[in-house]
Amino acid sequence: MKSVPAIQKYMTVLPHSIGDEQTLEKAREMMNEYRIRHLPVLHGGKIMGVITDRDIKLVSGFQGADLKTLKVSDAYTPEPYITSPNAALDEVVAFMAEKKYGCAIIADNNKLVGIFTEVDALRALSELLQTRLRH
């Protein structure tokens, strides 16, 4: 039986991130430009949380909300799921599924080193199905 790979094999390395004092407009522009839905939020290099395209859409629906003046710190989700690059893939995906999390922030010594999203999970599943289950 083969061992379960570590999350670092499937994570997106050195993901785009955004400072908590940036505007929501800037976050939306970055997500559109890079075609991503999750941005780790940093303050002085420290991981503060994560902001998603859904967070921005929710805020933009509020009457009088101005994405050009509202800050990422006004809308991000604090205390995201953070795990080590050495965490086992099966444990990470089980926890994400149980909590209905769209991503896991991957940190090494409290420094952002990767992100593992639902899309990364699907890529991992595809690879594992093709390489481990085909005869």
- Kindly give the confidence (pLDDT) of every residue in the chain, 135 residues in length, as a single tens digit, with 9 standing for 90 and above: 678 899 999 999 999 999 999 999 999 999 999 999 999 999 999 999 999 999 999 999 998 999 999 999 999 999 999 999 999 999 999 999 999 999 999 999 999 999 999 999 999 999 999 987 665
Most distant pair of Cα atoms in the chain: their distance: 58
CA atoms in the 13 A half-sphere facing the CB of 135: 0
Are 87 and 6 a contacting pair, CB within 8 Å?
yes
Are 104 and 115 a contacting pair, CB within 8 Å?
yes
Note the pLDDT of residue 1: 61
Angle separating helix axes 24-34 and 53-60, nearest 10 degrees: 130
Place of tokens 């991981």: 47
Query: Which fold, 7-132?
Result: CBS-domain (3.10.580)
Note the pLDDT of residue 67: 94
CA dist 108 → 5, 62, 64, 99 (Å): 17, 37, 40, 22
**pTM check: above 0.85:** yes
Note the pLDDT of residue 2: 72
The CA distance from 87 to 92, in Å, is 7
What residue spans define the domains of the chain?
A: 7-132
